[in-house]
Structure 1
């Protein structure tokens, strides 16, 4: 089979998974140790199918393969010749199973790392041998054929895949499945990778192959990472800056480019879930090992087929051997100064606005200046440095300076379910807002979707890309579409503000050594909900506490952040976010007036500054400043932003709003969120260098700022 011609296209996430698998399956071996060591071979089989006959096409599966391939090669040292990819029509059931046997089973030896990745449709099928049970299956490129009067489907049963993985002669086996099995109700913004259940017959060859596998020895205990952890959740695709991709694959590979050493798989998946929420999806990634019996039964995943890997992730022996990065050099032009970059390590929400003149640092200390970007690829030139080292393909690049445009808008996608006149009226209404633009769902990247409520078609509302209704955005029954859209102006201002402060996220690239822990104050010691810290500053011996499996906070909980400044400079802190009403909030460091009895004295805000080596709780834990979570049950998102310079403009913007004494709470509504967000970016803006591009851009230096994102569910 002519499959190796596809080796140059894909292969990242597998490496990631290979790494994870190495740590999980050896009960104590280090997470990245297997990938970092030179002796074992590293094999990968990557499958991606966009084009299916007579089925709605998918858009992101080939990008998923490319994301995986670049990650495996440039971050984890896989050889291109050891990565086999099957895409489109080559990913038939027969070719996939033959490739598995030929490329993996025949070549893998004990101790080798093996990664398997599948992006495409999943479905459920009823077998004649067990007519009362529906089984999960992967949909191959040659979906089906007709034999006389019967429709035969060429699906690969999930059970077959798990047995194939277990049959490999190595314990270092990881599979990533960016697919799902239950076809959802139509969702406004994101494509789903699931087909309706099938009552067709399964190919006899597949059933025979399954029976044969059941007779073999199963020495391996694979790790299987899945795009969803709930039986009826959907694996979604998203549209990004010039490309589409699976949300799970993109979020996972991006995290692994900037991977935090000495963490656990639960913490990694928590980061991925956090990233997915910013992309408009509530899908919760998981691993089959940690499924509850109820979920396992619903997914038809027998525990006997899934490994019992170690739960923790170990330390790296040598952090310099696998450093975190935002991308890598993939080609060098003849002049020796212009390079092509792959930038899959940048946060997805940042990539779309990543501007020309942004800078990256090489391990050899030279800097590259971004000159152009298309999707995940870019061109850059080496800065004029005398005696610069020759550039090399494969060099990792780390963010040094982020350039963002000042004229960023909120993009609203109009649901295709709207009638033509409804779309015209909605477009007209949104055009009246200076910082809002509209697109058609599925054509260009968008932030939210405007459409009809399914249960009440005569009402309109604003939805996340995953189809979740944004609180307090619905119109009245029978209300004109234009009027509903016009009423959204305050909400759109809030959502744009949140979009702006999300663009500051740089946990992976910041050079400020900071750690922040979200805690529930209860009993003798606080309960850790989640912990984030800047990655580039982590020392090998530093441990990262385990987050809760899901970041859940009960209503009525008293909360605080514990912030540690591990750098050698004082840092200033601002906290902003969206609460569970999807309204803007901020942390207000109220300053007690010198003359408290003066009636007309306006309360003032003071800078929150944390000295080097100091730990600060926000808010201070006393009765007057407690922060208690109230209802309703919904999603919360908060951004902790740090700077080496004071947030003078941000505090001035906060002070312009009129607050009554009863509103002087530590975590309180943000009355002018867009003004505050713009002031915040201006405070972070680098004002002493690169002034030639300062007029229409914000310039942020990783040495001077850090931004950590916390997301949790209120229940």
Structure 2
């Protein structure tokens, strides 16, 4: 420690200013699982983020309750504690001095990133993390950044291969990247400053030591140099988009899952928030993408959606931390939703704030109270029926434009509602930056929704009317995404997305429910181009879904989805017409029923299986939904759409997407066999039982 302090130019008294709890944590020897979590919301000079401390909380709860970390072995540096010197010293001592071979080490950073020019070379520009003491006011020409290269060298020098780092930050920004409701974790490069000499000297010392490097895994919030890491607001919670998607998936996943499948799930979840940001990884280990995540994330307990964190009022109130609920679902997660304990007791939600919920035991007469740290699993999901899109008006709109837009949106309030504040919105109505007289719809990350821009000179009210069908489609997608429950469903199903060719099918993506899975089933798979999270498929490929019912009950199936033009599609299960039928006869739709233990290839007909992808690039997002009861209402809604009677296609455009989405939710509600009065939810809520439905998301790029 003395040598380290001398290198950093500190006195022991300065080190002790971290506080006794941190010093005591560093002094504990023989730790088997060590973590260092860094999060900075409040920077000097008015800079600030809102979700970094939530990220630290998300990671800490996950490490303790899912991966068996001891609280005293998790060192957190937040706000004013997160200086460059303290971060580097904590890596060297808390992680480096204590870690041994085969120990598990975890590092997390949430905060701003940037680019900085190295001295002596105008072309040498490096990525850097911005610590809380990034700017020296007495020597204003210097910035006290932590170079990403320094960080990686420090982590790679640790004496164990089981090192994982999560960097929820990015390094590039520009005025064109302004967002609506999604904060950017990047700051512009400062050209008139120099990197602090202390950081340069420290980096050179690390390089000169020629340290033996481990096979650690670095997970990054972005995959391209110009991508920006975002943080988002859902409900009243602000968090890093990458951190929330990552931790939520890790609550529910299984040890046999691979790194590539992990990134595929996280990337799909991030994409649903209207952001092109995609995660990536860096590792010196060969074929790391095919390694199972248990090598880096040591599962200590079974999968769950949350954990008991407190008991109040003599056991009448049980507090839960619910980090495992999918992000798109949590905002609408309703009172009266239920969770089960391993001992069989059920807890019903009475209120929630942030990611915590206050619950009550359903049958308190048992006099059995849960223990703090006990995991909980989703049993009943309650969602409101009156869900609409939330649309913000872009700040560049003039007053008269805002008045007209508000009036026009009031006429479609059953689909979209306008709010005055941007955080937490689904979409933004605004002007195209190139032509101020054109209006369009944007994602919260300021991405123009394809085919949403109007003609120059279009009136505001006309633009809103023109966008109404698209808003209806986007609301439909929002609704069917709320059914996602791959982690919590008790229906054992397995689905493979495959490319059909003349030799043998090639698996592109595989999803499987995790609860009640059979011991002989294999893990999820994802085949993807190196460096991409969402799997890729060549244009013009012929595709099939191979669907396996691993349960002891017959299951019904439906498929809906979106492509990147934001148009809806659906799988139409046409009934084969007899040869004697007239060509003008209207084709009929039939239920897709999968018997217990059986496998179906969909779509399938007498001549050729599968459907043909278009010859243009796009991103496909499919929601595959299973139920123990027929989709009567859904098929009736599908039947009302206009289609070609001559050559009906199995996967075709979905015109009445909102009607179909509402029908799907109604069918799952009817299948759930839950008495409404049991939850006191009434007619204003959907009630879903995890024993009666499964919903899997398949997202892939056509390139």
Q: Same fold (TM over 0.5)?
A: yes
- Find the counterpart in structure 1 of residue 561 from structure 2: 577
SS class of match (1:361)? strand
Displacement of 1:638 in angstroms is 0.8
Q: CA-to-partner distance for each residue in 1:104-142, whole Å, 9 max, x for gaps?
A: 223223332111111111111111143321011111111
- Find the counterpart in structure 2 of residue 561 from structure 1: 545
Displacement of 1:626 in angstroms is 4.3
Displacement of 1:58 in angstroms is 1.2
- Find the counterpart in structure 2 of residue 12 from structure 1: none
Equivalent position to 2:157, from 148, 162, 167: 167
Displacement of 1:596 in angstroms is 4.2
Compared CA separation, residues 596 and 322, structure 1 to 2 (3 A): farther
- Find the counterpart in structure 2 of residue 252 from structure 1: 246
- Find the counterpart in structure 2 of residue 442 from structure 1: 422
- Find the counterpart in structure 2 of residue 701 from structure 1: 689
CA distance in 2 between partners of 1:187 and 1:561 (Å) = 39
The 5-angstrom pairing of residues 370-449 of structure 1 reads 370-384=349-363, 387=366, 389-433=368-412, 434-440=414-420, 442-443=422-423, 445-449=424-428
Compared CA separation, residues 213 and 626, structure 1 to 2 (3 A): closer
SS class of match (1:617)? strand
- Find the counterpart in structure 2 of residue 280 from structure 1: 274
- Find the counterpart in structure 1 of residue 41 from structure 2: 50
Contact 1:497 1:673 in 2 (8 A): yes
The 5-angstrom pairing of residues 82-97 of structure 1 reads 82-97=73-88
- Find the counterpart in structure 1 of residue 324 from structure 2: 345
- Indicate the larger mover: 652-661 or 280-289: 652-661
- Find the counterpart in structure 1 of residue 436 from structure 2: 457
| Alignment pair present for 1:176 and 2:166 | yes
Equivalent position to 1:652, from 636, 647, 661: 636
- Find the counterpart in structure 2 of residue 690 from structure 1: 676
The 5-angstrom pairing of residues 454-603 of structure 1 reads 454-544=433-523, 546-549=525-528, 550-593=534-577, 596-598=580-582, 601-603=585-587
CA distance in 2 between partners of 1:244 and 1:115 (Å) = 23
Displacement of 1:420 in angstroms is 2.7
Q: CA-to-partner distance for each residue in 1:596-653, whole Å, 9 max, x for gaps?
A: 4346643211100000111101101554664111154222111000000011111111
The 5-angstrom pairing of residues 611-690 of structure 1 reads 611-620=595-604, 622-623=606-607, 626-662=610-646, 664-685=648-669, 686-690=672-676
Contact 2:66 2:300 in 1 (8 A): no
| Alignment pair present for 1:355 and 2:331 | no
- Find the counterpart in structure 2 of residue 262 from structure 1: 256
Contact 2:440 2:454 in 1 (8 A): yes
SS class of match (1:322)? coil
Equivalent position to 1:313, from 285, 291, 305: 291
Equivalent position to 1:205, from 198, 202, 226: 198
Displacement of 1:260 in angstroms is 2.7
Displacement of 1:284 in angstroms is 1.4
Contact 2:602 2:610 in 1 (8 A): no
Q: CA-to-partner distance for each residue in 1:203-243, whole Å, 9 max, x for gaps?
A: 11111211222233523412211111111111111111201
- Find the counterpart in structure 1 of residue 27 from structure 2: none
SS class of match (1:567)? coil
- Indicate the larger mover: 127-136 or 319-328: 319-328
Name structure 2 gaps, 5 residues minimum.
1-15, 23-29, 529-533
- Indicate the larger mover: 623-632 or 505-514: 623-632
Equivalent position to 1:327, from 306, 317, 334: 306
Compared CA separation, residues 146 and 599, structure 1 to 2 (3 A): closer
- Indicate the larger mover: 615-624 or 67-76: 615-624
Compared CA separation, residues 472 and 316, structure 1 to 2 (3 A): closer
Compared CA separation, residues 239 and 619, structure 1 to 2 (3 A): same
Contact 1:40 1:113 in 2 (8 A): no
Displacement of 1:95 in angstroms is 1.9
CA distance in 1 between partners of 2:494 and 2:443 (Å) = 30
SS class of match (1:52)? coil
CA distance in 2 between partners of 1:393 and 1:2 (Å) = 32
- Find the counterpart in structure 2 of residue 192 from structure 1: 184
CA distance in 1 between partners of 2:610 and 2:649 (Å) = 8
| Alignment pair present for 1:610 and 2:594 | yes
- How many residues align? The count is 667
Displacement of 1:40 in angstroms is 5.6
SS class of match (1:676)? helix
- Find the counterpart in structure 1 of residue 124 from structure 2: 133
SS class of match (1:530)? strand
Contact 1:576 1:638 in 2 (8 A): yes
- Indicate the larger mover: 629-638 or 580-589: 629-638
TM-score by length of 1: 0.89
SS class of match (2:351)? strand
Compared CA separation, residues 670 and 316, structure 1 to 2 (3 A): same
CA distance in 2 between partners of 1:578 and 1:379 (Å) = 36
CA distance in 1 between partners of 2:371 and 2:449 (Å) = 48
Equivalent position to 1:67, from 41, 46, 58: 58
Compared CA separation, residues 249 and 133, structure 1 to 2 (3 A): same
Contact 1:625 1:666 in 2 (8 A): no
Displacement of 1:388 in angstroms is 5.5
Displacement of 1:308 in angstroms is 5.2
Displacement of 1:320 in angstroms is 9.3
| Alignment pair present for 1:101 and 2:81 | no
CA distance in 1 between partners of 2:568 and 2:535 (Å) = 20
Displacement of 1:316 in angstroms is 6.9
CA distance in 2 between partners of 1:636 and 1:378 (Å) = 35
Contact 2:673 2:689 in 1 (8 A): no
- Indicate the larger mover: 188-197 or 581-590: 188-197
Q: CA-to-partner distance for each residue in 1:506-535, whole Å, 9 max, x for gaps?
A: 000000000111111122111211111101
SS class of match (1:680)? helix
Displacement of 1:479 in angstroms is 1.1
CA distance in 1 between partners of 2:217 and 2:55 (Å) = 19
TM-score by length of 2: 0.90
- Find the counterpart in structure 2 of residue 223 from structure 1: 217
CA distance in 2 between partners of 1:338 and 1:178 (Å) = 34
Q: Give the RMSD, CA atoms, in angstroms.
A: 2.3
- Find the counterpart in structure 2 of residue 124 from structure 1: 115
CA distance in 2 between partners of 1:136 and 1:573 (Å) = 48
CA distance in 2 between partners of 1:468 and 1:596 (Å) = 52
| Alignment pair present for 1:713 and 2:691 | no
SS class of match (1:103)? helix
CA distance in 1 between partners of 2:53 and 2:440 (Å) = 33
CA distance in 2 between partners of 1:268 and 1:278 (Å) = 16
SS class of match (2:352)? strand
- Find the counterpart in structure 2 of residue 26 from structure 1: none
CA distance in 1 between partners of 2:291 and 2:118 (Å) = 39
